[in-house]
Amino acid sequence: MQTLNINAILRAQPRNARYGAPMGSTDMLDDSPDLYLQRVNFIDGDYGPDGTYWGDNGTPMWCAFNAPIAQGTRVYVRAKTRNDAKIAVLAKMPNVTFLD
């Protein structure tokens, strides 16, 4: 199975910024028990690859996700380490398994 890349997925799905960058994003949840967990690479310190403005609070952004398209699960958490990000995701979705 090929590992998906959240940064490439976000770059391929830019958010509408006609009136300025959108602020943050809401979690999208489905029933998938298997999620990838990857760090979101910011551009200019505050913006995700899709143009979303997250602000820079100094803590890395992580995304747990299961699909390369807009449907499916995407859960965003701030955490210093990958392990802390797993704990934060599990607090929202206690029955998931991380694929990578």
**Structure confidence by residue, pLDDT tens digits, 76-93:** 999 999 999 999 999 998
Inside any domain, residue 29: yes
In a domain? residue 1: no
Flag whether 100 is in a domain.
no
Does residue 76 belong to any structural domain of this protein?
A: yes
Which candidate, 47, 38, 30, 45, places its Cα nearest to that of 85? 38
Cα-based distances in Å from 96 to 4, 45, 60: 17, 30, 21
- Domain of residue 90: give its range: 6-95
Domain count, the chain: 1
Q: Specify whether the CB–CB gap between 37 and 58 falls below 8 A.
A: no
Domain assignment of residue 21, yes or no: yes
Q: Decide: helix, strand or coil at residue 65.
A: strand
- Answer for the pair 89, 37: CB distance below 8 angstroms, yes or no: yes
pLDDT score, position 64: 92
Q: Look up the pTM and report it.
A: 0.81
